[in-house]
Structure 1
């Protein structure tokens, strides 16, 4: 391979191309991926600048595989394969891993094995790490995600974004002190590292430091203008959840929803499904807490958008939330259609994947019944031993999953299973004693059980917490 035909990317790894513009576009793409940028389509420019570059074409194929027209990825994949024999060993490794990732017969174990091999040989490639961590997220496997980032950390200790990638699996494993330390280290290197900002907010929320979380995130928010629809609305979702959890005036929650989540749809390059995902997550939280009347119109507007089947099957979590929204907004036939379509999708999976996703389908069926007000059917489906951590395969963080536990707690109370509900909520309060909503649930449970003294204590604790967090905004 002649030296003048090889250039080096951001990581210092060899890429066969004669085009400086191609390499520049690849490096820009790396930055967009790691910073959750809006312009990941820049990778298409790389393959235009050099139609024969294997790395440019395979990365373009990966980008297109999750676009509005995923079939367009095949031509870039074919272009990469056609020149594969004359590419560098680095490009061959990326090709193998991405081709397996976007293939019709995808096997996640093989995908992760290929990515692990890349990271052993090319440990500075943080975009390959990011791809691997995303697969781990959808498998509900934070242990492996952590192993992968720890594998390459020694070669990347001063790199921007590495500590945010370290922090998140630590969060998912409940190692909050370590997660906080990693996130703060990431922000020392790069104050605009959105993932480190996001992860530190997770820590604040878990510790029930809602006011601190809001102040921190709102101070960071000017750095979010160029990030993707998902990251922009998801960070604002966290802000709204902190207002909600901290018992701020509900108008504060609605202001975040209206001005920062829903308004994102006005941008010409907005990703609708990413906005809907965070909008739905907030609406369900508000619904569970009894804010039904003041969110009714917004929920109907959202549900009307979800009748468009082009929004279906982008994310399992989005489908689950959409089933509830449609069912609760009198779009029952659409909710049934979506649920049946989800069930059909599972049947096309491998037996192992089917077994895993059955818990996700059970949760979807429960949310359909919950949306229709059929609490007894929800309990019959979820049972008395429901554990939301068994549902990580739907692609949700612990914070996103929390709302499904809340649904279960409220349904247990509403169907007379107050002893079970009290036991579960008491365990939850031991972990997050600063959350007013759980104390309110305990108050209700103790009242039903006739435990008057405990009911008074729970009520007083709830009132004290509700008055504490956002008293300056009341």
Structure 2
């Protein structure tokens, strides 16, 4: 019987094909190398190797890109007619749910999958990403926590479970445990950039921005290679630290250098670029014509029904590039998405309000922006991203309140932020802006936090 590195049987595999498959899984775990190339090599050797094809489907499905999703559907239809064992059939069902926009159904299928096959590292990683894309913080942690005890210390890939659990703990506010596990994962595998990223999130949430820059720089050789799929997101985390520290030249150097110099057309990379330019613009910095290149890059991705989180970030770039007509069309598509799937509900219930709110802000209609963003902010964690990524919603809402002169709203929002991150320089600066009108008029200001 041919098995993978964790000892699970592989239908249709040869020993040579299984070696290519393990290479692909390792590349997927590390977000490094070419997993698709390794899977194609496996399928060239064993043309009906089920898990090789199913992993390829998963990779294309979680890319959240329209063309990749269509290719995944075509391959999945082919695989459905192949001989599959029970575990592989479970993968097929989960992939179908993802491609149908039924993210929670996929997550539930994988929850049950792990109880039967706890050593299935592909299912664990796909499940972790599904939990991320639907912003289910509890399951980001608990999916791994309930499975990790089944992994012995010498099971290949165990470091990656520690890194995934670290990220889940961070998203649940368990920062000390998250940092300890992230560092432990890196001790086992220095190239584990998901674990590096989990620690970076901890430092962001705790407003330890000097530590964040130092962490990124000290680990840079391990995550910044050209073959690292996650490098741009880790550069983004470093850029956020520089932005909080007021080191704006460093932020622009990172944007024009490793974040955007390659003109990546990968949706995840463009999300980071949009969010960083928007934050710079919010802070009053001139980003020049950078929006135009990025807006053009979004053209092939923002379709109003694949993944609303991406569409919202596309709208930021189109607003910056003065493409209001495209933003209005996108909002209309999002509102018309209906109730056909979970992804459609995300589009209509959250994505449309975010696009509308950001467009209103850009046009100086700050009251409308407050109304839309206040409605969306409480449910935005339904449709994806991390706390750090979704923070741009509250930053924009805060800025709309300040610019509209709604001081009481602005003060309530900044007090909320300071309760979570009292040592954030950005939050303290926002409080000073809120209180400045009171000082100017000689009114008595509340005690600053």
Structure 1 length normalisation: TM-score? 0.85
How many Å separate the matches in 2 of 1:326 and 1:18?
46
Q: In 2, are the aligned partners of 1:446 and 1:454 still within 8 Å (CA)?
A: no
Alignment partner, residue 380 of structure 1? 371
How many Å separate the matches in 2 of 1:64 and 1:320?
21
What's the CA shift for 1:179?
1.2
Which piece of structure 1 moves more, 109-118 or 355-364? 355-364
Q: In 2, are the aligned partners of 1:184 and 1:196 still within 8 Å (CA)?
A: yes
Which piece of structure 1 moves more, 151-160 or 410-419? 151-160
Whether 2:437 is the aligned partner of 1:448: answer: yes
Query: Any unmatched runs of 5+ in structure 2?
Result: none
What CA deviation, in whole Å up to 9, does each residue of 1:231-269 have, x standing for no partner? 111100111110010122x1111111111101133xxxx
Alignment partner, residue 192 of structure 1? 191
What's the CA shift for 1:387?
7.0
Alignment partner, residue 14 of structure 2? 19
Alignment partner, residue 45 of structure 2? 49
How many Å separate the matches in 1 of 2:349 and 2:3?
45
Which piece of structure 1 moves more, 116-125 or 322-331? 322-331
Alignment partner, residue 132 of structure 2? 137
Alignment partner, residue 343 of structure 1? 335
Greater Rg by CA: 1
Query: Structure 1 residues 343 and 353, CA, compared in 2 at 3 Å: closer, same or farther?
Result: closer
Q: In 1, are the aligned partners of 2:334 and 2:351 still within 8 Å (CA)?
A: no
Q: In 1, are the aligned partners of 2:335 and 2:347 still within 8 Å (CA)?
A: no
What's the CA shift for 1:30?
1.0
Q: In 1, are the aligned partners of 2:191 and 2:222 still within 8 Å (CA)?
A: yes
Query: Structure 1 residues 455 and 238, CA, compared in 2 at 3 Å: closer, same or farther?
Result: farther
What's the CA shift for 1:415?
1.5
Alignment partner, residue 255 of structure 2? 257
Q: 2:146 is paired with a residue of what secondary structure?
A: helix
Query: Structure 1 residues 329 and 166, CA, compared in 2 at 3 Å: closer, same or farther?
Result: same
- Higher-RCO chain (CA-CA 8 Å, sequence separation at least 6): 2
How many Å separate the matches in 2 of 1:272 and 1:218?
24
Q: In 2, are the aligned partners of 1:38 and 1:229 still within 8 Å (CA)?
A: yes
Which piece of structure 1 moves more, 73-82 or 136-145? 73-82
What's the CA shift for 1:153?
0.7
Alignment partner, residue 32 of structure 2? 37
Whether 2:422 is the aligned partner of 1:433: answer: yes
What CA deviation, in whole Å up to 9, does each residue of 1:450-469 have, x standing for no partner? 475987986xx9xxxxxxxx
Q: In 2, are the aligned partners of 1:264 and 1:275 still within 8 Å (CA)?
A: no
Residues 385-396 of structure 1 aligned to structure 2 (within 5 Å): 388-396=377-385
Alignment partner, residue 327 of structure 1? 319
Alignment partner, residue 289 of structure 1? 283
Whether 2:119 is the aligned partner of 1:124: answer: yes
What CA deviation, in whole Å up to 9, does each residue of 1:20-67 have, x standing for no partner? 221112111211211112412122222221112222222233334456
What's the CA shift for 1:122?
1.2
Alignment partner, residue 465 of structure 1? none
What's the CA shift for 1:213?
0.9
Number of matched pairs: 439
Q: 1:136 is paired with a residue of what secondary structure?
A: helix
What's the CA shift for 1:221?
1.6
How many Å separate the matches in 2 of 1:380 and 1:160?
44
Residues 183-262 of structure 1 aligned to structure 2 (within 5 Å): 183-226=182-225, 231-248=230-247, 250-262=248-260
Query: Structure 1 residues 351 and 289, CA, compared in 2 at 3 Å: closer, same or farther?
Result: closer
Alignment partner, residue 149 of structure 1? 144
Q: 1:287 is paired with a residue of what secondary structure?
A: helix
